Structure 1
Amino acid sequence: MSSDLPDNPPIADADRVKSVRVEEEMEQSYIDYAMSVIVGRALPDVRDGLKPVQKRILYAMHEAGVSSNAAHRKSSNIVGDTMGKYHPHGDDSIYDALARMAQEFSLRYPLVDGQGNFGSVDGDPPAAMRYTEARMSSLAEELLTDIEQDTVDFGSNYDDRLTEPAVLPAALPNLLLNGSSGIAVGMSTNIPPHNLGEVVDSVIHLIDNPDCAIADLMDYVKGPDFPTGANIVGRAGIYDAYTTGRGKLRVRAEMEIEEDEERIIVTELPYHENKARRIERIADDVNEGTIQGIRDLRDESDREGIRIVIELKRGANPDLVKNQLLKHHLERTFSIITLALVDGQPRILNLKELLEEFLDHRCEVVRRRSQHELDNAQERAHVLEGRLLALDNVDNVVELIRDADDRSAAKEDLQDEFGFTERQANHIVRMQLGSLTSLETVEIEDEYETLTEEIERLQTILGDRSELLGVIKSELHELKTRYNDDRRTSIIEDVGTVTHEDLIPEEESVVVLTESNYVKRMPLSTFDAQHRGGKGIIGTGLKDGDRVSAVFQANSHDYLLCFSNKGQVYQLKTYNLPEMSRTARGKSAVNVLELDADEDVTAIVNTDEFNGDESLTMVTRGGYVKRTPSDAFNNILSTGIRAVKLEEGDELVDVTVTNGTKDVIIGTEYGRAIRFDEKEARSMGRSARGVNGIKLCEGDRVAGLVAVSDDDESALLTVTRNGYGKRTPIEEYRSQSRYGKGLVDIKTTERNGPVVALEAVREHDDLILMSENGQIMRTHASEISSQGRNTMGVRVMCPDDDDCVASVDVIPLD
């Protein structure tokens, strides 16, 4: 069979045919596909915290007027608008994104206000889009505010019919508020949600302190705040995530043991936990014998919250059952990867970088908004200037317009005769006669004056970055006031699933620290009370050149804040200190406190009785005093955190607990003392230096600090270096204003030596005194006579000639 076709038909447009290697084409095509998924689908933008589909849904709702004040609209209508105008990727993916933005158990601050079934924490899917309705939440509107004022760039949509924003203006750091999760090609992101008030405070702190450390920001951002509450176990994972961009959290359910009812109540579950499936698996493990001690399990959850009731068998150990539940079901790991798009490129960011990127974006938005407002204001002012000029020459202007052949001629004549610009002339010829009244003139002058002030304000913002940042701070404060709420997720101590603490007996201990950072604890019962004036007994062994720096009493289960002379504060549990004999040297404190070589512990505060209303009042050798709320010391790293900013050459000497109703007495080594109301030292943050507390004589230094009041039973105990001391009634120290020289407290003669310690004691308390060479003595406070101010005191302890008193602590005996 013949054919008219040639053997080698010509190739159309042969010059467009290009020969390539298959592996090269596959590689490039895959890279293009991967970047399309990364940038266009899976990862959020660091500036507004949204993925493209989320941004397009919100913008479509904004364009359609589906605001928080409008009526709800069918979800299918919103999905159709989004898909037809901006996101041609299928309605299922758009509706899934819309539904998630409406779920209160998925987003900490939902961006969509849903009406209908949008799914549940039991894993139930949302109802079909034709049954549900939605509108923007009020917080979502904050992400779109000022979008019409040229605040962000716009680009063409997928078919070039419309334009869409490249990013939303975002008045709040949504990426941290609501977090994000997504899997791209070769990478993924998993950013947890946070508390709005904490994040806003951290942004404001960054504005005020652009060179601050990440640890400083963590004073404000305590950790993730999940919409489902629950507990984060330990802070190590939080610290890793905020400093490196990667970390692992242990998230534990909130449960309560009701021993009288023999049951455990679970009220909060870890984030993204399927409640119904988890209950089924607990039941399976109970039936299989993996978990023992449970006789019944039921779900009593309702709209008010989660309530899972676990009934225990008679005689079952609730703690053991709880640990089994935690091990198998009610504790899970949340891996954090703070991966987001920065300038179109995926980057892993730490906490400070995330906040800086948002702040840079917000600065650009406010700058562009201010420029837009300035342009409009200047344009309006320009028109008003023309109107005012026309009103000043109203008769001539009216006559000129009336004599002109047409409107165009009138405009040209106005420009030639009075110097109007084209825009001013065009406006004047369109004015109505009614606008030429004297009342209208006053209104125009008032508007022009207001515009002039507005122009000056906007020019100041555009010309001064500090003013621009001030605008951002003001707006953030306002948003915090409007949307802030309480933290839902608690951060609890990481003690593992085995409670070793229960195996440690509670007992009163004496803790000894040396200048070479050796530490140990001994039972308080080791030391019997003696009469004053004794030498004491050996309390610790010392290596050559070492000296005792501090001694204090604590319960073995107490949590202690240890303040160092360098202004750092560390946290430890008393039982973590090594228990040793009286004659033992102790062990290096670096095992429990990461102290520097020249750093000594100078003050210890017991936190077990804190209720959140106290302040820690501190004093330095140089006489500065500062109060800081106790809750500022809730999140203490293993390496310690800053407690006070110190001047060069100064050091922290003492810390006491006050409650807003106390007076403080500062005593000096030369025997002077000043008493004033604690409120004279205003409450400050941890990084502050404080204010002047006492005016020191040349060569004098602060020795200690106590908190007192007239209505308690305490007296002021003053002890000197050579072992002399006295008790003086508090009322003998009249209240003064801070930063005075104070009164004479005790005579610091050659016999007495300088003051080494001040304590508030009651007559029935005991005292522990320790010398630099390791002698320790316990005595009754009543053994020390009560004397007035400006006296010599009596012998309290009799150290050797080459020894002296190093530290004094009070043992309360109620």
Structure 2
Amino acid sequence: MEDNSTPLETQDNNRIVPVNIEEQMKTAYIDYSMSVIVGRALPDVRDGLKPVHRRILHGMNELGNNSNKPYKKAARIVGEVMGKYHPHGDASIFDTMVRMAQDWSMRYLLVDGQGNFGSQDGDGPAAMRYVEARLHRLAENMLEDIDKDTVDFQFNFDDSLKEPTVLPTRIPQLLMNGSSGIAVGMATNMMPHNLSEVIDGCIAYIDKKDITIEELIQYVKAPDFPTGGIIYGMEGVKAAMHFGRGRVVLRGKLRVDTKASGREQIIITEVPYQVNRDALCDRVGQLVNEKVVEGIAHVNNESNNKEGTRIVIDLKRDAIANVVINQLYKHTELQTSYGINNVALVKGRPRTLNIRDMISEFVEFRLEVVTRRTQFELREAEKKAHILQGYLIALDHLDEVIALIRASSTPEIAKNSLISAGWGLDEIQAKAILELRLQRLTGMERDKIREEYDQLMLLINHLKELLADEGKRFEVIRQELLEVKEKFGDERKTEITYLDDEVSIKDLIREEDVVITISHLGYIKRTSATEYRQQRRGGRGAIGGKTRDEDYIDHLFVASTHHTMIFFTEKGRCYWLNVYEIPEGDKTSKGRAIQNLIQLPPDDKVRAILDVKDLKDEAFVNTHHIVLCTKQGVIKKTSLQDFSRPRQTGVNAITIVEGDHLLEARLTDGNSEILLAVRSGRAIRFEEEKVRPTGRGAIGVAGIEVDDETDEVIGMICVNREDKSKTVLVVSEKGYGKRTPIDEYRITNRGGKGVKTISVTDKTGKLVGILDVTEQEDLMITCKSGLTIRMPVNGISEQGRATQGVKLIRLDENDEIAAITKLDKLEEENGNGLHTADAATVNPESGPLPSNGDAPAASDSTDQPGPGLDPLLGIEPTENE
């Protein structure tokens, strides 16, 4: 029997199409990746939303779940969105909606939630059946005009409904709230920004289409995070602005408080974006247990929803807060970096965008929305005007129309009769006339129809003008953006800190002269120099600083905010600090512990301060020296070049022998004469060349001979030998002072006893300060009680070396002078003429000395004001006194 069947191989070959497996895998994977990229992970550059966010907002809008309506259960919203638009599971929809309602996740909320939506400490939200939500007012501005054919719609997953491909947002959502997502082969991580700044940038682009990125950065300065914090350095941010990729370093915000017991606390008031507060506390505790971070006694998270973030770190008694803070920045999420990767969909394709690209794409989208909205409104207005025109024709032939309708047996016959009546009516108008209510035929209603028609014609002309002129459409966009800014704009939450090597401080800090004060217990602050009013000699004084019990002002100095302060401690260490970094406070504030600004050991304290304009000026630093002196009369000179490279931990400036400490520091140009004064009333004058330059680690040489263990150096001045305008001003601890020509002090070799500079008596007290002054300067005196007085130097009489001087300030019993400083006179016009300063400070550890019996007693008349000066002046307290 013959077998006619076809072999199996032949049948299979007819059905199987051979393909290249490599090409098949490529095609399938590319299709999958594009589906993820376009349909899930990346935001659209126009409205800044991923599909799930867009569908939630659209679904809530379709539900009528607006900001002025009652809240709806989250479960109902999730069901609506999942059933109609997003069939990917309820968890993803609910999690997305929750995030849009968390003020620590979104810079600007899109959903208004009611109930437990989680916390910044990592607590999860309640189940969707327990919480409620509605659209936020801001989100409604993203949905406005969606029913005016402003955007395209597409079929949903089962082709039963239509959903928008993009929202017609009035708000630059992509920049405002940012976005993050991981697709296939690419990812996006866009930072949130301040709405007001972004709108300013959009308006700047509208005004100047060829605006540069550098110009845009003047408006959109940097990311602005919902949890605040401090951006530390702008280099990575500017890279992202220019190229779409960069890095932002964010630090938490904190302050240092002192408890009543004297121990310090670090209070963290803001943590970086997306940092879990409980996890941060746990990490700090772990570092303490592992002894990575020293000096922390206790850490506690005291944050709550009402008062916000508050993490309290108690320090041990000997801990230096500034050191602990730096360790926390290094080892914990208190300092966090974020990679910026601005990838978004542009016309359906992923693209890396710079700041100008994002703004231009949004503005161009708004132009398209406004154009389509205007076209829609024009069509609707023309349709309505066409019907009203038919009404007007019918009203002009009212009797004939009524008769014609009454004579018609059916509506269709009546419609055809109206069309063929010869009045120019078409089918739409005829149908509208037949549907006209009889009440519209009254005289008043007829007038309303005519008025409505006239108004519509004006609107139509306006809409046509808009469509004909692109500039007018841009003006509409501009006005709508300004309305959004007025409604929802706010101040920045995140501060910006520029690193020294990124930008000139002069470009950021307003230059002004400030008074810097340091108290005996080490509290420092800066105050505008204009807060100190000038008074006559003998005045009562003003409160210059509130201090703690047994504390008083040790140093008072005037400097520009653009300068650098060099601090010298009694143990011979040197530290640097920019003036603008010193915390600002009013005259009566206490200030901040200096250990929190420089890494000063607890057993050391600042003794001398120098104000240097620019340490990077090589010509200046190579031609200047720093002269140091100690309380035992040792003097030393070192090139400023050795102090021109600041180190955070400080450097050694002079080697101090046991029982001595550094007292004073002066900046010289090599052509000075040096005067040293001691507490017992003597002073010595010698040339600067007598002190040869030595390195920072040297001990120094003898400057003046100190009488005994109770005597000590109280000050040093360095006067340029060519400057003949200077006089030597000395002040005693009980408020007596005088000026003496410098030539009365003969030039000698260093190391001698010197000559008498003031007559020390029980009435005057010991010598406490020496300054070189001119008549164009003012003297500022600060007492241990905090009292401060400012007086003109030319009101202090010139007297010989051996006199006791005149009374400069009236002191309370048991009060003494703590510091004296000189400063330029205030200009009478604007009161801001301060430019230079020099200071003499008291050694608070000095004990009383017996009066010098050889000193001639001054006449009692020296207690009275000098000739031409008013009697003692009282002052009216200012508001903060």
After TM superposition, the structure 1 stretch with the greater mean CA deviation from structure 2, 258-267 or 24-33, is 258-267
Shift of 1:409: 2.0
Match of 1:575 in 2: 614
Match of 1:315 in 2: 318
- Cα offsets for 1:12-49 (capped at 9, x unmatched): 9x877432111111111111111111111100000011
Matched residues in 1 for 2:793 and 2:238: separation? Answer: 45
Matched residues in 1 for 2:130 and 2:248: separation? Answer: 38
SS in 1 for 2:133: strand
Shift of 1:132: 1.8
Shift of 1:262: 0.8
Shift of 1:275: 1.1
Report the AA paired with residue 274 of structure 2: H
Match of 1:764 in 2: 776
Report the AA paired with residue 381 of structure 1: A
Match of 1:67 in 2: 66
Match of 1:393 in 2: 397
Matched residues in 2 for 1:433 and 1:206: separation? Answer: 54
Alignment of 1:32-47 (within 5 A): 32-47=31-46
For 1:410, which of 411, 414, 433 is the aligned residue?
Answer: 414
Q: Is residue 471 of structure 2 the alignment partner of residue 466 of structure 1?
A: yes
Are the aligned partners of 1:765 and 1:810 in contact in 2 as well (CA < 8 Å)?
A: no
**Which consecutive unaligned segments of at least 5 residues does structure 2 have?**
502-512, 514-559, 566-577, 581-611, 625-773, 779-791, 795-831, 838-881
Shift of 1:555: 3.4
Are the aligned partners of 1:765 and 1:812 in contact in 2 as well (CA < 8 Å)?
A: no
Match of 1:366 in 2: 370
Are the aligned partners of 2:263 and 2:316 in contact in 1 as well (CA < 8 Å)?
A: no
After TM superposition, the structure 1 stretch with the greater mean CA deviation from structure 2, 160-169 or 18-27, is 18-27
Report the AA paired with residue 301 of structure 1: S
Matched residues in 1 for 2:481 and 2:431: separation? Answer: 42
Report the AA paired with residue 72 of structure 1: Y
SS in 2 for 1:117: coil
- Cα offsets for 1:750-789 (capped at 9, x unmatched): xxxxxxxxxxxx98269xxxxxxxxxxxxx999xxxxxxx
Shift of 1:584: 6.8
- Cα offsets for 1:360-392 (capped at 9, x unmatched): 111111111111111111110111111111111
Match of 1:451 in 2: 456
Shift of 1:495: 5.7
TM-score by length of 1: 0.62
Are the aligned partners of 1:256 and 1:266 in contact in 2 as well (CA < 8 Å)?
A: yes
Q: Is residue 12 of structure 2 the alignment partner of residue 8 of structure 1?
A: no
For 1:555, which of 544, 563, 566 is the aligned residue?
Answer: 563
Report the AA paired with residue 563 of structure 2: N
Shift of 1:86: 0.9
Match of 1:420 in 2: 425
Shift of 1:317: 0.7
Report the AA paired with residue 324 of structure 1: Q
Q: Is residue 258 of structure 2 the alignment partner of residue 219 of structure 1?
A: no
Shift of 1:479: 1.0
Pair 38,308 (structure 1): closer, same or farther in 2 beyond 3 Å? same
Matched residues in 2 for 1:312 and 1:439: separation? Answer: 83
Match of 1:160 in 2: 159
Matched residues in 2 for 1:477 and 1:810: separation? Answer: 41
For 2:267, which of 252, 265, 287 is the aligned residue?
Answer: 265
Shift of 1:179: 0.5
Shift of 1:575: 3.4
Pair 576,188 (structure 1): closer, same or farther in 2 beyond 3 Å? farther
Match of 2:85 in 1: 86
- Cα offsets for 1:640-665 (capped at 9, x unmatched): xxxxxxxxxxxxxxxxxxxxxxxxxx
Shift of 1:553: 12
Are the aligned partners of 2:44 and 2:346 in contact in 1 as well (CA < 8 Å)?
A: yes
Match of 1:357 in 2: 361
- Cα offsets for 1:41-100 (capped at 9, x unmatched): 100000011111111111111111111122222222211111111111122211211111
Matched residues in 1 for 2:489 and 2:365: separation? Answer: 22
Matched residues in 2 for 1:136 and 1:391: separation? Answer: 46
Pair 115,581 (structure 1): closer, same or farther in 2 beyond 3 Å? closer
Match of 1:176 in 2: 175
Shift of 1:467: 0.7
Matched residues in 2 for 1:447 and 1:199: separation? Answer: 40
Are the aligned partners of 2:615 and 2:621 in contact in 1 as well (CA < 8 Å)?
A: no
Matched residues in 2 for 1:15 and 1:244: separation? Answer: 55
Report the AA paired with residue 335 of structure 1: G
Match of 1:100 in 2: 99
Pair 156,553 (structure 1): closer, same or farther in 2 beyond 3 Å? closer
- The structure number with the bigger radius of gyration is 2
Are the aligned partners of 2:231 and 2:249 in contact in 1 as well (CA < 8 Å)?
A: yes
Matched residues in 2 for 1:291 and 1:327: separation? Answer: 10
Shift of 1:210: 1.0
Pair 582,448 (structure 1): closer, same or farther in 2 beyond 3 Å? same
For 1:289, which of 275, 288, 291 is the aligned residue?
Answer: 291
Matched residues in 2 for 1:352 and 1:176: separation? Answer: 11
Q: Is residue 811 of structure 2 the alignment partner of residue 812 of structure 1?
A: no
Matched residues in 2 for 1:582 and 1:199: separation? Answer: 44
Q: Is residue 518 of structure 2 the alignment partner of residue 492 of structure 1?
A: no
Report the AA paired with residue 470 of structure 1: E
Alignment of 1:308-707 (within 5 A): 308-329=311-332, 330-417=334-421, 418-494=423-499, 555-557=563-565, 574-581=613-620
Shift of 1:577: 2.2
**Which consecutive unaligned segments of at least 5 residues does structure 1 have?**
497-507, 509-551, 561-572, 586-761, 767-779, 783-808
Pair 124,364 (structure 1): closer, same or farther in 2 beyond 3 Å? same
Shift of 1:278: 1.3
SS in 1 for 2:107: coil
Pair 414,51 (structure 1): closer, same or farther in 2 beyond 3 Å? same
Are the aligned partners of 2:263 and 2:317 in contact in 1 as well (CA < 8 Å)?
A: no
Report the AA paired with residue 578 of structure 1: D
Report the AA paired with residue 316 of structure 2: K
Matched residues in 1 for 2:14 and 2:446: separation? Answer: 73
Matched residues in 1 for 2:777 and 2:161: separation? Answer: 81
Shift of 1:405: 3.3
Matched residues in 1 for 2:81 and 2:621: separation? Answer: 77
Are the aligned partners of 1:193 and 1:224 in contact in 2 as well (CA < 8 Å)?
A: yes
- Cα offsets for 1:447-474 (capped at 9, x unmatched): 1111111111111111111111111111
Match of 1:141 in 2: 140
Report the AA paired with residue 429 of structure 2: Q
Report the AA paired with residue 391 of structure 1: L
Matched residues in 2 for 1:146 and 1:432: separation? Answer: 31
Report the AA paired with residue 316 of structure 1: A
Report the AA paired with residue 466 of structure 2: I
Match of 1:28 in 2: 27
Matched residues in 2 for 1:270 and 1:284: separation? Answer: 19
Match of 1:130 in 2: 129
Shift of 1:434: 2.4
Identity of aligned residues (%): 47
Are the aligned partners of 1:764 and 1:813 in contact in 2 as well (CA < 8 Å)?
A: no
Report the AA paired with residue 275 of structure 1: R
Are the aligned partners of 2:561 and 2:579 in contact in 1 as well (CA < 8 Å)?
A: no
Match of 1:248 in 2: 247
Match of 2:308 in 1: 305
Matched residues in 2 for 1:475 and 1:763: separation? Answer: 62
Matched residues in 1 for 2:449 and 2:331: separation? Answer: 75
Shift of 1:244: 0.8
Are the aligned partners of 1:765 and 1:811 in contact in 2 as well (CA < 8 Å)?
A: no
Match of 2:733 in 1: none
Report the AA paired with residue 812 of structure 1: H
Matched residues in 1 for 2:120 and 2:295: separation? Answer: 27
After TM superposition, the structure 1 stretch with the greater mean CA deviation from structure 2, 126-135 or 324-333, is 126-135
SS in 2 for 1:155: strand
Report the AA paired with residue 388 of structure 1: L
SS in 1 for 2:614: helix
Matched residues in 2 for 1:455 and 1:16: separation? Answer: 64
Are the aligned partners of 2:302 and 2:312 in contact in 1 as well (CA < 8 Å)?
A: yes
Match of 2:115 in 1: 116
- Cα offsets for 1:223-281 (capped at 9, x unmatched): 11100000001221221111111111110000101245411000000001111111101
